[in-house]
Structure 1
């Protein structure tokens, strides 16, 4: 059964293209556990979202490679959440915005922080 939060986190967590390509190849060889570990090593994905990300990659989907792409994905998935996050940021409540994003999407702390920075218009920093 699909975990909605894990899937959402997978869809909004940036993962480098090289890691995606390697994970896709590993999954095609039936090595999904190793594929998930590769994605985790190249991103802020936790275990559950990494497994969902492998399924997405195996299904032909691409994951975001930057915080800007991740924010675009979040806007498509949950525009109402983005409105709430923006209101919190406009009120100077960055920590509350990160907390809300994490509660609603299952994204990890670093990923949530960078998405909130992106939404607030601060420059994107590279993923780990």
Structure 2
């Protein structure tokens, strides 16, 4: 199972200023510019950026950083979080990144950063 476009948008950080800029483009009738703005700032693909914009338009904030993205992932898929935690407890962060990427259809960079955030959180 891979993450839906909306789930991917909910676990990909986008700076608050960029979210506001995208909404301003929409208010001015420039939806394509809003999507382009989100894509450029986050690395989201076109369908995922469109889903992110839809979330913003409905009043839902996107995560602004990786700690918030990790909280969203936890809320979306607690089973996946347990699996990732088990991999990290075994000292296998590479496996954790691989599982996360496969299950949520994330880029290597996003997967790595989320796992790094999880490692840091569990270490403290």
Deviation, structure 1 residue 4: 5.3
Higher helix share: 2
> Of the two, which has the highest radius of gyration?
2
Aligned to 1:35, the other structure's residue is in SS state helix
Query: In the alignment, which residue of structure 2 is the partner of 1:112?
Result: 111
User: Aligned with 1:120: secondary structure?
Assistant: helix
How many residues are matched? 120
Q: Which runs of 4+ in 1 moved over 4 A?
A: none
1:33 aligns with 2:32: yes
Matches of 1:101 and 1:55, distance apart in 2: 24
Taking the aligned partners of 1:92 and 1:4, their CA distance within structure 2 comes to 25
Question: Please, what TM-score do these two structures have when normalized by structure 1?
Answer: 0.86
Moved more, 8-17 or 97-106: 97-106
**Counterparts of 2:102 and 2:28 in 1: how far apart (Å)?**
34
The equivalent of 1:47 in structure 2 is: 46
What is the TM-score when the length of structure 2 is the normalising length?
0.88
> Which ranges of structure 1 fall in alignment gaps of 5 or more residues?
123-128
Note if contact 1:24-1:57 (Cα within 8 Å) is conserved in structure 2: yes
- C-alpha RMSD of matched pairs (Å): 1.7
Aligned twin of 1:125: none
